[in-house]
Structure 1
Amino acid sequence: MELSPSLDVLVTRVATHLIGADAPTAPSAYRAGLRDLRDWFGVDTVFLRHHDSHHRITTLVAEWPRREHVPDPDPLGVVEFAGADPVFAATEHLQEPLVFRPGSPARAYAERVESASGMSAVSMVAVPLRSGPATTGVLGLVAAGDRQWTEDELGALKATASLFSQVQARVSAEERLRWAARHDALTGLLNRRGMADELSARLAEGRPRFAVLYFDLDRLEALNDVLGHTAGDEFLRTVAERLRRFTDDDSLLCRWGGDEFVLLLPRATTEDEAYVEACGLLMSVTARVELAGDVVSRTASIGVAVARPGIDTVDSVIAGADQAAIAAKSAGGNAVSLFTDEIRERTALRNDIELHLRAAIENDALLLHFQPEIDLTTGRITAVEALVRWLHPTRGMIPPADFVGIAESVNLATELGRWVLNEACRTYASWRQRLGESTITLRVNVSPAQLVSRDFIGVVETTLARHAMSPADLCIEITEVAVVHDVTLAARALAAVRALGVRVAIDDFGTGYSSLSHLKTLPVDAVKIDREFVAHLDTDAADRAIVGAVVTLATAYRLDLIAEGLETVEARTALLDLGCTRAQGYLYARPEPAEVVFDMLRVGTLMPS
């Protein structure tokens, strides 16, 4: 239908308000458009309603003019179509404008309008908002008394309703995108971004403390492997629903990662309260689930941190709860662990090391200490073991136990090992220049990752050549626990090392649970008895039996044998009685800087301290 010029001006004017509207500006744009319609047609009220087809309700989203006195609850606010009066019921699936005039069979509607606005004996035109075949809302104009509507006016209202429906669709699309950006598609829970935003708001200074629970489902990948990822997804949805049932209106729940959930509990403000809540949740989450005809269950590790608004950040709270969950998993899983000051310090240290270790390696911020190895029968120094240290600018001297494992976990073990090998050989070469010929062996620890790296043999060759060292002067040490993970691969790598003329020792011997067979299969020259069996050698019969067996086997295989962690004269006597004549430990010397050890080498012997 072609509109009259005057009505065309009206539609254009309303379009000017609506054309650029988005979610934040839509309410004011709606009111401006309704105001123009009221002024143009001279009616008393113009309103806009949006329908929710899923819940079968219609909601008043804008009206002009605004009512001065709105009842609570508002009879016109949210109306359910089920059981609604004939007028509202007719608008649910309205396709063409519908006119109601005084005296029409709409008494219930008239009473609703009168109770909400004080207007009686009204006429109304309702124009549907359409999106494809669906009715998504209604544009209504209400006048006191009777009013007739021409075909041109109804055509203009249909054109205007189309403009309102376009804004509604645009805003709805924006809201869906906004929801998707903050929610997990699989479970419908908040996602990481959504939870981070909510956490940030609740961590503002002055807000109350609250608990954060970090759920890590144990070994979900096994369920995926056996039953498939569809079953795994269904299991995650079930867990999410169980957690959702546990939460209240103030709680927040999110799927943080693949098999990880985060729950914010405002009602738990102390560690004890949070721990009790977490234990209850653990029982619910780990209850059995029927999937694909099987009844399955997964355990969970839960970490608990109490957030301190004004002090903690989103990252620190989540990291704390995550570290506590890792502690629970490390303890065997299916447990709850609190984030303690000890974990806080350990986490801070780990983060510091991860961030700065590479720079420390590249900038020579590391240093080596050396610990002598002694012939117990003569006191002669037979070898020195290179032990890396990190002189941290703020933490002081960091021992290798605090950062070598982290280096392996962040793929820096090979770079760290290359630095240690080069620095140890450089130091050894400088000693030899000053001491002349020596029979002292240099022992250097090698990580599993470094041993099996493609360039390891080339690095050893190049390093020995750079410092003019004989391969026989170097002994590579690899822990037995590392060897156990893949004996065949380790044996191949160690054989290549020995082919260079470099010797090989198994460190921490006795901790790999199948040690005796390894002596037969691995190409090694020496074994070092773990300090665990040496510390109480003079009082523990079991330790004496183990060390005695190792001595017998080492003798049979013609291997050098060195005891680690020798600290007492009584243990020294026991070692000699068992036939072990070489050792290292605090009884003779602690790890010391290169110059201190050089002075020891110049003398050549050490006596028990």
Structure 2
Amino acid sequence: MGSEEVPEFLMDEMALITHILDHSTEAAIVLDPLLGICYATASCTQVLGKAPSELFGAAAKSFVHESDVARAIEARVAALSVGHSGPIDLRGLHGDGEYHWFEAEWWRFDEPGSGRQRVVLHLRDIDHRIKTVEALSVSQAQQDRLLQYGAGVTAILSQDSGFLSYVSPSIHHVLGWTQDQISEIPMSRFIHPDDSTAFEQIQSQVLERPNGRAQIEVRCRHKSGAWRVVELTLENLISEDADSGLLFYIYDVTDRRQAVDELTRQQRTDSLTGLANRYLLLDRISIGLEGEDQATSNMVLLKCDIDRFGMFNDALGQDVGDDLLREFARRLRALARRLRSLRNAEVTVARLTSDEFALLVSSSDRETLPAEVVEELRQMLLEPFRLQGTEHAVTVCVGVAVAEIDSTAEEMARDASAAMHFAKSTGANQVSYFNRRVREAAIERLETQSDLVRAIDRDELVLHFQPAYDTRTGLLESTEALVRWQHPERGLLGPGYFVPDAESSNRIVELGQWVIDHAAQTAVAWNFDDPSMPRKMWVNVSALQLQSATFAENLAESLRSAGLTHSAFGIEVTESVLLVSDPQISKTLDDVHESGCSIALDDFGTGYSSLTYLQRYNVDAIKIDQSFVAGLTSDADDASIVVAVNSLGRSLNLSVIAEGVETAGQLDALISMGCTLVSGFGLCRPIPEAELTPLLNVPLEARRIEIDLTDQSTANR
């Protein structure tokens, strides 16, 4: 049935969650026992090849391959019973008319108020992976059958004539020739010219030793004229009177070789853009350095990082972000072709991480190559990128490293990365050449990591706290603990200066535990577990912390030592943390939830927002990202998102905290939308424990007076 036949209450519900689901990287379908498919995300067009409107009203089993229907029904029934089922692999009818492989998961969704149950089916496209593995498995199975039933070819080569004196009948099945035809043609004519030298060499090696034996892969001519990859096993039987000659066992391994080559290609290239990946880039650098004539040639490595790429992803969605990356890769390829043509250069283009690319260029022009390549790169970006019908200017920060006499591949990659990070630290659209200053900046990062190890022991870390207020009562409802570093030489440092280094050096677990210990102690000092006025202390945790099998146990011990009840403490995670495919993270979050601590999803709406996270991880609260709050009074889309997320939270009985309140207009808008919990710099900046203590019982109205005065002061300037 069409969307116009869907009941009004169901359309309202779908409108509520559309903002969250439409940018998911997987297809999501809502199944109703009476209506069939009653909702489908926009991503179905890409994943399933069918627009959502084509799916409405259909039964799920009409999509599933008949051989998989029983398993799909069993999984759906299980999801209705226990809440979740899967994942399983099944075949579904794609919009191209072919059956594709998908990874499927079912989640029960209970409609609030009515008790009506539906199932949300999530589908991920795994067709390429399954078929590649199948191709390899089929090829291997074919080889096993050939060995078992003698489908390989056995032949004896006469050394005197160079012709085959015997060949088994299976030659017709393997290479298309009859026994009579192949016995009249010299063996040398069957071997590919490019493989003939290797074949002659191994043949000589076998003949030098009585009973010698060796194996080689070569291309042999099929009767059709095509070249087939065969595995030749050679054995010296010249000393045998009855079967004097060189014995061959021939097996066709073309399919296996193609499958292995494809897997090797996938391991050495980027799946999104088709460019070389880091491993292939390092290999090309090594090859270039080994053959580099330092007196006459020059090798330069450029690493570039797209400015504001995270903003493109957040604002336009991952699909558009992927389109940007593919277009960027296309332009780099065009630049590579230009450099090969005009400068006779050898060029390798690679994608290293999400938005980080590399250009490896080797040329005989030692004077102008690095600067000219950078200029060519910038010229390449002058034309705007057209995304979703709108033109966008794209710039990059570039790091340049030139090969030294004793350079290694890892050193060149390291130096280019250091230069790129230095360029990024100075702003957007910057270029940095690796030199002493860049090296010093890289060393400073290492020193920061080293100093951080001792910062905890030296009691240099401090916590600042930012409160959130209940708009209904005006009372302080919770605080978020934010770590700062009182560096003895550099002063008070925000988390942006050292938390990334803590994560890259694996010190984040120790740092995070320190934050939990001291935040719990502060919550006790502030009497947050007072039954007459319960409040909550929130702390941020990273994926590395949640991947620790002892995190939940250590958290419980910290709260026990501080004397704080679990209900007065909560952890905040971002959607990117939940994207990490690690069963330990799921188990840790389950353990935290069962202990009585709360779980909040931070920056909700900026990443891969999905109801799946709210259901799978027992989320208790969601925090609306400040970027949406900032546009409340000027951007209708931001206002709609805030309304949708707030309504979603209420329908799922979740606390919703709107972050980033800076003006009275934003506060008024949030209150009118029914947002009950708010925080932001306009109400109170993150401040030390001693400064916040006298403000714990100051109501929101008093903070509002300050924000009003701030607005008036700003307007009068």
Deviation of 1:493 (Å) = 2.1
SS of residue matched to 1:373: strand
Post-superposition offset of 1:512 = 2.0
After superposition, give the CA deviation of every residue in 1:202-238 in whole Å (9 maximum; x if it has no partner). xxxxxxxxxxxxxxxxx99525999x99x96996389
> Contact conserved, 1:244 with 1:253, CA < 8 A, in 2?
no
Quick check: 2:401–2:412 contact (8 Å CA) kept in 1? yes
**8 Å CA contact 1:385, 1:444 repeated in 2:** yes
Equivalent residue number for residue 712 of structure 2: none
Aligned counterpart, 2:284? 236
Q: Distance in 1 between matches of 2:683 and 2:641?
A: 23
User: How is 1:31-430 mapped onto 2 (pairs within 5 angstroms)?
Assistant: 222-223=268-269, 236=284, 240=288, 244=292, 248-249=295-296, 268=367, 274-277=370-373, 303-304=399-400, 321-325=416-420, 337-339=431-433, 347=442, 349-430=444-525
Q: Secondary structure at the match of 2:539?
A: strand
Percent identity over the alignment?
34
SS in 2 for 1:555: helix
**Is the aligned partner of 1:440 residue 2:535?**
yes
What CA distance in whole angstroms lies between the structure 2 residues aligned with 1:403 and 1:438?
Answer: 36
Choose from 549, 557, 562 the match for 2:644.
Answer: 549
Mapped partners of 2:413, 2:582: distance in 1? 39
Q: 1:472 and 2:564 equivalent? A: no
Between structure 1 and structure 2, the one with the greater Rg is: 1
- Mapped to 1, the partners of 2:468 and 2:289 lie a distance apart of 61
Q: Secondary structure of the residue that 2:682 maps to in structure 1?
A: coil
Contact 1:371 1:384 in 2 (8 A): yes
CA shift, 1:526, in A, is 0.5
What TM-score, normalized to structure 1? 0.50
Q: Which runs of 5+ in 1 are unaligned?
A: 1-218, 284-300, 308-314
Q: Distance in 2 between matches of 1:565 and 1:279?
A: 40
State the alpha-carbon separation in 1 of the partners of residues 421 and 531 from structure 2: 52
Superposed CA deviations along residues 265-309 of structure 1, whole A, max 9, x for unmatched, are 99659xxx73215667999xxxxxxxxxxxxxxxxx9732699xx
Measured after TM superposition, the shift of residue 499 of structure 1 is 0.7
Aligned partners of 1:566 and 1:587 also within 8 Å? yes
Shift of 1:325: 4.5
The one-letter amino acid paired with 1:222 is: R
In the TM superposition, what whole-angstrom CA distance separates every residue of 1:507-537 from its partner, at most 9, and x where no partner exists?
1111222334422332011000111111111
State how far apart, in whole Å, the 2-side matches of 1:417 and 1:548 are.
Answer: 33
Q: Deviations 1:30-71 (Å, cap 9, x if unpaired)? A: xxxxxxxxxxxxxxxxxxxxxxxxxxxxxxxxxxxxxxxxxx
Task: Determine the structure 2 residue equivalent to 1:607.
Answer: 703
Q: Flag the 1:243–1:512 CA change in 2: closer, same or farther, 3 A.
A: farther
Q: Are 1:574 and 2:669 matched, yes or no?
A: yes
- Where does residue 521 of structure 1 map in the other structure? 616
Alpha-carbon distance in structure 2 between the residues aligned to 1:461 and 1:578? 37
The answer to whether structure 1 residue 498 and structure 2 residue 593 are counterparts is yes
Distance 2:266 2:441 in 1: 27
- CA deviation string 1:387-416 (max 9, x = no partner): 000011111111012221221111111101
Deviations 1:422-458 (A, max 9, x none): 0111122222299996412111111111122111111
8 Å contact kept, 1:220–1:232: no
- Tell me the amino acid that sits aligned with residue 403 of structure 1: F
Does 1:597 pair with 2:597?
no
Distance in 1 of aligned mates of 2:291 and 2:541: 46
CA contact (8 A) 1:373 1:583 kept: yes
Indicate if the aligned counterparts of 1:494 and 1:524 stay in contact, CA closer than 8 A.
Answer: no
Q: Which residue type is aligned with residue 236 of structure 1?
A: R
2:464/2:484 contact within 8 Å kept = yes
CA contact (8 A) 1:435 1:602 kept: no
Give the secondary-structure state (helix, strand or coil) at the position aligned to 2:675.
Answer: coil
CA distance in 2, matches of 1:514, 1:556: 16
Q: Deviations for 1:348-369, whole angstroms, at most 9, x for unmatched residues?
A: 6533321211111232210000
Q: In structure 2, list runs of 5 or more residues that go unmatched.
A: 1-264, 302-351, 353-357, 380-396, 404-409, 707-717
Structure 1 Cα separation of the partners of residues 292 and 378 of structure 2: 13
Q: Distance in 2 between matches of 1:562 and 1:589?
A: 15
TM-score, normalising length from structure 2? 0.43
Q: Secondary structure at the match of 2:526?
A: helix
- Matched AA of 2:605: G
Would the alpha carbon gap of residues 425 and 598 (structure 1) be closer, same or farther in structure 2, given more than 3 Å must change? same
| Structure 1 residues 586 and 488, CA gap change in structure 2 (3 angstroms) | same
1:362 alignment partner, SS class: coil
RMSD: 4.8
Superposition deviation, residue 322 in structure 1: 3.1
Instruction: Call closer, same or farther: CA 1:282–1:236 in 2, change over 3 Å.
Output: farther
After superposition, give the CA deviation of every residue in 1:330-386 in whole Å (9 maximum; x if it has no partner): 9xxxx9942499978964653332121111123221000001111123431000110
SS at match of 2:634: coil
Match of 1:510 in 2: 605
Equivalent in the alignment of 2:157:
none
Alpha-carbon distance between aligned partners in 2 of 1:397 and 1:526, rounded to the nearest angstrom: 31
Q: CA deviation at 1:241?
A: 7.4
The one-letter amino acid paired with 1:534 is V
Which SS does the other structure have where 1:432 is aligned?
coil
Distance of 1:224 and 1:545 partners within structure 2: 37
Instruction: Label 1:274 to 1:557 Cα distance change in 2 as closer, same or farther (>3 A).
Output: same
Measure, in 2, the Cα distance between the counterparts of 1:544 and 1:557. Answer: 20
528-537 or 321-330, larger mean C-alpha shift: 321-330
